[in-house]
Structure 1
């Protein structure tokens, strides 16, 4: 006992003055005694050391190792499940504020990984066709095969439409129906192949409409890649009108037929505008005609080139069909299509005459600025010419909207003459047509 404080082996303090037991000196003495008591193992006594330090040396590292293994296993399982989920879900490839109708591409072999349409629903009906018709060899000039379609023949080109030099057009049979094959030629390079597939993706992204030719699918599993389109018996409307001019009985055009076909094209145009797509090349050469005289709007190459900002070495549109704002600023807007639609009506009622045939292309814009407009053809009724006039105002704001245009055409269809066949006395002169339409002005007039 010193200073009233007694130290004992149980590290307790007995003192007469208990306040001194709580001083810092006493606390430090207690800490040293605790440390000395923990270091009780003799030198070289490993078993004692392991028992004393087993929590720090064995238990904690073991727990950390188990935690790491569990984390790695969880990441592997999560990655595997995510990969399977990606394969089984269908991503939204084309986004639009306008809801597109359901569409189903038919009978095309489109393996994932190389086809821009790989996320479409593609039943593999072509495999069955291949087993049934192994002996069917397409008649192609490239020496390659275009799938295993039946009765493949080359579609002849016309004088007034120059098709893309890198694309061959063929007629074929698939699943007991006629189809048109747009095959990329073997001489195409990688950039041209990519543009071909991008165009197919662009057309597919527009969705289905009853008055737009249906893209049935794309074949990329073999070379060359092929777009498969529905076949329209009478092909382009311009050629159809010229056959009507020659008096072929299957091509009789009445005013009611003009209203009916124009309503169908206007409906397709309204749909494209709803998809935020300005066509930019509305003309008779861009309309396809089915066996039942259903008109479907095609010629989407111009719209694709503008959206993809693809330079094809020249415009794909003829100037005499273009609106004044396009001729001055090269800007395409929805009302620009309305102007071009008015020239389409003029082509239909004249059985294939070009608009502004009497004007050289170099003077067209100047004459339009002076108020020059399309003249009323002798075969055109007052109601039809009034619609043409409403389409061809100089100011885009004064032109009729496409929705109103559809309503006017439907109303005109109900009262139009469906008995009298439109006749044009002037015979067809293709050379004269090409000059008056403005071909040969360093433009590429490919209709994709």
Structure 2
């Protein structure tokens, strides 16, 4: 009541034609409300401009989608190497080739292979920008039983940074250690130039070439049976998952799981290779801007250039299952490589191949869940594969009548034909 009387007195002091009284009564509304509105408008304008500039800059920095894409690393990945040979960064402190080789030879003393143990007869199997890869023989002490090995030679002449990188890769292989489903480091020659990395020879070749040969009317060749069953697909897949578990335990992820990066032995032992991306993450915490991975094997987070980890490998593993059950068909055959992200954003995945069972397709679909958190971990997925293998068909041979034309495959898969020439020449 008191407040109402006070207000009455104020109003009685003004006449209805007194404009000054009306203005003073509403001065707070006139000043504060417009100020708040202007402030909110400026903030929104700033946010919109920031998002626009950020998106424009991202478009300029990222190469256009041409079938391959750069790689984004995970925030959760550890860059701290442990164990002997893990400290790759120590090599970067050296400033001359002589001191660098001296330091590395001492650090890699247990891996040094006398050059005279390596045969002068070299079979070139691949030539890349970093050097040449050969197959040769290594003397093991018994002249009757030389060992076939793969020799990776650093190109010459090489810059100091290239030598550092090559030595870093040897250190990384030493850090990884032994695993039956990874290609093993046999030794190295780093006392002087040229530098050599000596690797285990898996002479039967890569899985993609093996799958293509399975399409032909061939039973056996070089001791390898070219009849693949559903149960054998699970057998190979299990071994790849064991390798991924091993990498996960070391806080690494592979980044390029595909049939072209798996080597196969006569007993269908699978060995995961192509660990260049894992090395770059381990040594530098980032990926080289020149490294590109075929888009059709990438998970959505990788396509969106977001941080990725082992769950991205699980997505690619689902593509690998598709490759095996179709005997090396390119994924998403009806989708252009540059349209794969839009295809996945519409919630679409590959249809079940005619030669694929419902159980195997269910495993594929679990790998292709959009959310990383919804995908299984390597160990969980391996358990599911083992359970499926118990009831899998081990009699019916997978058959695809069409032979593969490498040029056509490369165009549909979104990869270069040159990258296939190495796969085809190995087998």
Distance change in 2, residues 1:442/1:413 (3 Å): closer
Distance change in 2, residues 1:183/1:119 (3 Å): closer
Question: TM-score, normalized by length of structure 2?
Answer: 0.69
The separation in 2 between residues aligned to 1:438 and 1:147, in whole angstroms, is 43
Note if 1:207 corresponds to 2:199. Answer: no
Note if 1:94 corresponds to 2:86. Answer: yes
The separation in 2 between residues aligned to 1:330 and 1:222, in whole angstroms, is 41
Question: TM-score, normalized by length of structure 1?
Answer: 0.66
The separation in 2 between residues aligned to 1:348 and 1:401, in whole angstroms, is 20
Deviation at 1:442, TM superposition (A): 13
The separation in 1 between residues aligned to 2:419 and 2:121, in whole angstroms, is 31
Q: Residues 298-309 of structure 1 correspond to what in structure 2 (within 5 A)?
A: 298-309=273-284
Q: Residues 374-385 of structure 1 correspond to what in structure 2 (within 5 A)?
A: 374-385=350-361
Note if 1:267 corresponds to 2:267. Answer: no
Q: Name the structure where helix makes up a greater proportion of residues.
A: 2
The separation in 2 between residues aligned to 1:199 and 1:391, in whole angstroms, is 30
Aligned length: 317
Deviation at 1:248, TM superposition (A): 2.8
Distance change in 2, residues 1:249/1:187 (3 Å): farther
Gaps of 5+ in 2: 1-82, 88-99, 141-145, 221-225
Partner of 1:118: 107
Structure 2 residue matching 1:227: 3-state secondary structure: strand
Partner of 1:72: none
Deviation at 1:185, TM superposition (A): 1.8
Partner of 2:128: 164
Structure 1 residue matching 2:362: 3-state secondary structure: helix
The separation in 2 between residues aligned to 1:405 and 1:234, in whole angstroms, is 27
RMSD, matched Cα: 2.8
Out of 94, 119, 122, the position equivalent to 1:153 is 122
The separation in 1 between residues aligned to 2:388 and 2:280, in whole angstroms, is 35
Structure 2 residue matching 1:172: 3-state secondary structure: strand
Q: Residues 184-263 of structure 1 correspond to what in structure 2 (within 5 A)?
A: 184-250=154-220, 251-263=226-238
Structure 1 residue matching 2:332: 3-state secondary structure: coil
The separation in 2 between residues aligned to 1:289 and 1:430, in whole angstroms, is 20
The separation in 1 between residues aligned to 2:421 and 2:162, in whole angstroms, is 17
Structure 1 residue matching 2:281: 3-state secondary structure: helix
Contact in 1 for aligned 2:277/2:287 (Cα 8 Å): no
Distance change in 2, residues 1:407/1:155 (3 Å): farther
Listed one character per residue, the Cα deviations across residues 231-254 of structure 1 (whole Å, up to 9, x for unaligned) are 102221111111112233232211
Distance change in 2, residues 1:431/1:390 (3 Å): same
The separation in 2 between residues aligned to 1:374 and 1:382, in whole angstroms, is 13
Deviation at 1:264, TM superposition (A): 0.3
Contact in 2 for aligned 1:316/1:446 (Cα 8 Å): no
Contact in 2 for aligned 1:117/1:204 (Cα 8 Å): no
Gaps of 5+ in 1: 1-90, 96-110, 128-145, 158-162
* Larger Rg, first or second structure (1 or 2): 1
Moved over 4 A (4+): 310-313, 440-447
The separation in 1 between residues aligned to 2:164 and 2:421, in whole angstroms, is 21
Structure 2 residue matching 1:208: 3-state secondary structure: coil
Partner of 2:71: none
The separation in 1 between residues aligned to 2:290 and 2:422, in whole angstroms, is 10
Distance change in 2, residues 1:294/1:335 (3 Å): same
Deviation at 1:311, TM superposition (A): 6.0
Note if 1:345 corresponds to 2:321. Answer: yes
The separation in 1 between residues aligned to 2:106 and 2:299, in whole angstroms, is 34
The separation in 2 between residues aligned to 1:352 and 1:259, in whole angstroms, is 15
With CA pairs under 8 Å and 6+ residues apart, which has the higher RCO, 1 or 2?
Answer: 2
